Structure 1
């Protein structure tokens, strides 16, 4: 026992002796490290102190942009079709340091001086405004169940739960002043950093401007600026062609948001949303003014200087004459109202008219009206000339005769065909409007004058080499439809014309084959030959008749003549680009073949046959060459989306003037006219379009 006690005592003595040594070593290491740290800090302070102090107090540079006025659009005579009307505006620029609390306070303060009455805050906007108050936000957060405020949830997820709680549980009721504040807060918080938006421009009163101006110092970011809105000093009949621009409220279209953001737009920028405004957006928008913004370490802006003053949007000069456009629209409404008064248009869907320069393709006027038989409402619809399709009837017979001549089925000296009615087995007789047996045979020019359906069908049977025995048998190649359609497409019928407006329709092709047997629809092929099957647009008709008028050049229609800029005083337009006429195709006919067709169109107006269809225009000056047409259609109920058995006709007309020196070509469509009350509406319209145009350009053209 004593042995073990002796050893134990020796161990304790050794351990006690070693402890002070370890402590001394540890304390020594600590002192050395501390001394090194102090030395390093002293070194950094002495050597780099000035540099670090400079970095702490350094500034940062950012770029801020401001929108510029949109480009102006002029008519062919330099009149403003759509311009920019300047208006005072209350603006807001979101700074680098702006917080939700600050924007909430600014919105509440600003609501003391202005009212927004043309907008109402949504439930979400009300909830966001409610939660912008930190005290209320804290209470809402505390009221949420634990599952909706777990640390694993993102800030946006928690915020969505808070918004839902406010919308469903609290349902705050706001005063008129608070509603304005909610709208203002929403606009401010949705603004990108260093972006400027208009908080109010429409209906801004002088009193509101004055009160806001007096209190700008208490509302960081708020300012007084200028806004612009589109206006139409020469009427709105052409507005549907010009298109629309989004508002600062709607901003960028959601369906193409990324495209605009990538191209430097802000979310609240106004952009063209339809037709010319959209088609030429890249030019019309201009280039934003750029400012260099300098801020200090606390994100306070210390300096703002303009780096680029910006460039207003390019201006467009159109081919359309505003006065002529207004006159054509007035004449169209006059004729349509006359048809309504006579009971002929009670089930019509509307009327359309296009005037075009046949030598260049420049559109001179595009007018359209839509009619709703259920509400009796008439609305302007100039775009219907490019996106509405109709079965056009006999107006296309010029192209059919041309096809026969070009393909040598008939010739300029041998083009007489028997005027024998077509009898298909099990089908109604196919004939012309005049009584059976009126003519034994007809030449091509006479067939155009009296608008013979029979001639076109006989020409087709010969052209496609069909086998036919009256009342017994008919057989034609499977390619018959394609043969006729390819010919019509040479003239622009049944395909897009390429006009510089988005949304153009290519027309509608009827079925070519029986769906159950796959056999070609022979009777429909014959209907196609005289314009009673496929549907075309009014602009296609205008291109087609222009091709005949100018001698065979299919010209691309266009409405923008020049692109340029407007002088600073707004009085002058300087073009830097002028549209050159574009020939899409040259019709491969001979001069003699063209004479046959032109003579036929001339005889439609100036012929002596009693069955001529437009002799009432014979004495109009300048001389008109034309072709009329009617096509069977049925009433389509827009409410039910179905056609009824009520039979109607489309009353159409195409032509040019003067006959020997074409300067204007026209196409007219009155859709859905009562066949028992057919009138001279299309001919009256043609007369008005031609005489008005020449009166406005008196002395410029020959009237022969």
Structure 2
């Protein structure tokens, strides 16, 4: 028998029962609380979600707005195509799950049956393309290239094609109006990502993204996507637990997007593109004495800017491509061709993404820096054929000396040694190899005040900053490359120039040497700019010193032609020159056209300088391992025109004829220097917005003009139809690493 008293045993049982009761009551309380939370506290929320499980959305794409030029010509519109689509829901309701219907459809369309079947299957992690990655309740497009006869066969035999529709659908179209391409400016579309859809799930209207949406990914299509996209329509369908449609839960109609009026003139754009292409072709016929082969002229860019507003009249980049290649998708072969090194990356807009040394076109900035540093504009400065600094000889172009000359004359003849001397003197004043704590660094400071080394803020994506290689940049560059330099220096040999430089940099690559600054003063060395940055600077020289933010968008218009909002010019600041200095540089750049390095391409061949005064600065930048870069920066009373070409020769020699022809087209000047305003494309920038008909189409006036290259012609612009539709595309930009410019600059 147990020795435990009966009372003790009873107490232990009682305690266990109490604990069990507490546990049961706790579980019941927890369950009751959870039921209260689900049924009362959040019951309405879950009820709505349950109801949502029986609602399926069918999307009606919105009509995307058009992109127009300054006169209302359609640069980007929409075109109607016959699209054959299949309802997957209808197919699944058939006994053979639609196999027979798809086979008949493939026969009518002249496509392999398997291809049609693959297009209507749903995408997942294991299913290769082609497949459908949209909503299974959305009509799935099988082809966008159906003929009228094919569409009639399908629609007249509906009993043979249940769930199949053939209807007109709008697709994006890059019109090439007036022959203008402007592909890098206009941009492209691509489908939204799952992440974008998820992030906008709680939004409404245009802010909400749906799986079927197209979105701008580059150019104006991207920047003004919210304005252009419109609001997608939604047809809500009630379905049962098997997915069968049993009714409608309401419809939200689609709303068309607004139109974008730009400052681009399609006719000027065409003339600019043609002249850039011709200049590159001409350069490839010229023999380069230094490399002993013809110039490659592998890329280039041109910017035409309204000097009084900063608006872009034309922007061209080469090589280029047909933007319509993205509409409806692009083949792997075509995509590879556009993104390969062999094609030289035509997707890049070199006007805003192409960085290179500006060469002697930078000297107007250095002249302004010298004036700020206190060097008299009225003084003469020595222009010897060469100057020895730090044991290194820095030469003028073709080792030509000009004696003692003014800064203005130094700009006209593009004398390097004048600027070498000024930069070296200022470097010494700032402490030389041991800089003062309060070093003025006028040449760097002034460049930044001109807006260099920073984005201009143009309404295009992916603009780059360029580079001003000041002391701060020098230090950060040293920190990033010191280890690599020191490793390379270990193998340095007397005849290995690169290794010897690495050896020097390993020791004191962070120091601003005299050679760095004198090279910089003529737009060489580590200096990088974009054509747009230089156009902005020369526009400021033309308008009295105002730095405008470059813009392409001019106004947002509703589909019926009413103004939604105007995009006004924006002033970012002033260049750091007083009125006297500005007039001095203005007169010097006029001298470049009349008697300086550009005279042989302008006044020397009959340009009417007295009637239409032009100003210019030529530049020829030397780049390590490449042929010279041609740079020509110009302005008139109305426009700044900047052209640059990689590996093309001298500034005036390679670009002079093309830039002159652009001005001839703008002002109606023939090859004999006669001005005919009736043949001028745009003798004054167009300030007013285009007029529109009641249906939203633009009213285009008749005009005759000469493009300066192919002769004169007369045209009557067709009145564009209303915008209809959207179009898909996929694109990614390749990146170019700019080469470092070294050596002397040429005028």
Give the aligned partner of residue 418 of structure 1: 382
- What is the 5 A alignment of 1:46-85? 64-85=58-79
- What is the 5 A alignment of 1:185-584? 185-186=121-122, 190-192=133-135, 194-201=137-144, 203-217=145-159, 221-233=163-175, 234=177, 235=179, 237-246=181-190, 251-253=191-193, 256=196, 258-259=198-199, 264-294=208-238, 300-304=244-248, 307-344=251-288, 346-370=295-319, 383-405=349-371, 407-412=372-377, 414-419=378-383, 421-427=386-392, 429-433=393-397, 435=399, 437-439=401-403, 441-466=404-429, 483-508=442-467, 512=474, 514-517=505-508, 518-533=510-525, 534-567=527-560, 573-584=561-572
- CA 1:556–1:670: 2 relative to 1, 3 Å: same
Give the aligned partner of residue 87 of structure 1: 81
Check whether the contact 2:86–2:120 (CA below 8 A) recurs between aligned residues: no
Cα distance in 2 between the residues matched to 1:359 and 1:118: 58
- Please identify, of 557-566 and 189-198, the stretch whose mean Cα deviation from structure 2 is larger: 189-198
SS state of the match for residue 474, structure 2? coil
Query: Could you tell me the TM-score, scaled by structure 1's length?
Result: 0.70
SS state of the match for residue 212, structure 2? coil
Q: CA deviation at 1:497?
A: 0.9
- CA 1:477–1:524: 2 relative to 1, 3 Å: farther
Computing the radius of gyration from Cα coordinates, the structure with the larger value is 1
What CA deviation, in whole Å up to 9, does each residue of 1:403-446 have, x standing for no partner?
222x241244x44333354312332x11322646531x221211
Check whether the contact 1:494–1:508 (CA below 8 A) recurs between aligned residues: yes
Cα distance in 1 between the residues matched to 2:119 and 2:245: 26
SS state of the match for residue 361, structure 1? coil
Cα distance in 1 between the residues matched to 2:142 and 2:628: 53
Q: CA deviation at 1:297?
A: 8.0
1:670 and 2:611 correspond: no
Check whether the contact 1:317–1:563 (CA below 8 A) recurs between aligned residues: yes
Q: CA deviation at 1:655?
A: 1.1
Query: Which of 588, 591, 615 does residue 625 from structure 1 map onto?
Result: 615
Give the aligned partner of residue 736 of structure 2: none
Cα distance in 1 between the residues matched to 2:683 and 2:199: 50
SS state of the match for residue 390, structure 1? coil
Cα distance in 1 between the residues matched to 2:299 and 2:435: 37
Q: Which segments of 5 or more consecutive residues in structure 1 lack a partner in the other structure? A: 1-58, 120-175, 568-572, 635-643
CA RMSD of aligned residues (A): 3.5
What CA deviation, in whole Å up to 9, does each residue of 1:620-651 have, x standing for no partner?
232211110111113xxxxxxxxx4xx52111
Query: Which of 654, 669, 686 does residue 681 from structure 1 map onto?
Result: 654
Check whether the contact 1:475–1:522 (CA below 8 A) recurs between aligned residues: no
Say how many residue pairs are matched.
Answer: 546
Q: CA deviation at 1:304?
A: 4.1
Query: Which of 589, 599, 604 does residue 577 from structure 2 map onto?
Result: 589
Give the aligned partner of residue 132 of structure 1: none
Check whether the contact 1:507–1:535 (CA below 8 A) recurs between aligned residues: yes
Cα distance in 1 between the residues matched to 2:301 and 2:591: 25
SS state of the match for residue 516, structure 1? helix
- CA 1:341–1:546: 2 relative to 1, 3 Å: same
Check whether the contact 1:261–1:267 (CA below 8 A) recurs between aligned residues: no
SS state of the match for residue 348, structure 1? coil
Give the aligned partner of residue 714 of structure 2: none
SS state of the match for residue 683, structure 1? helix
Cα distance in 2 between the residues matched to 1:108 and 1:211: 16
Q: CA deviation at 1:663?
A: 0.5
Cα distance in 2 between the residues matched to 1:357 and 1:411: 32
Higher RCO structure, 1 or 2 (CA under 8 Å, sep 6+): 2
- CA 1:253–1:63: 2 relative to 1, 3 Å: closer
Cα distance in 2 between the residues matched to 1:61 and 1:670: 58
Cα distance in 2 between the residues matched to 1:245 and 1:450: 48
- CA 1:236–1:245: 2 relative to 1, 3 Å: farther
Give the aligned partner of residue 648 of structure 1: 627
Cα distance in 1 between the residues matched to 2:682 and 2:259: 29
SS state of the match for residue 396, structure 1? helix
Check whether the contact 1:367–1:381 (CA below 8 A) recurs between aligned residues: no
Cα distance in 2 between the residues matched to 1:190 and 1:115: 25
- Please identify, of 75-84 and 374-383, the stretch whose mean Cα deviation from structure 2 is larger: 374-383
What CA deviation, in whole Å up to 9, does each residue of 1:199-237 have, x standing for no partner?
322x21234323332454566643333322222222462
Cα distance in 1 between the residues matched to 2:627 and 2:440: 25
Q: Which segments of 5 or more consecutive residues in structure 2 lack a partner in the other structure? A: 1-52, 124-130, 289-293, 321-336, 476-504, 669-679, 686-747
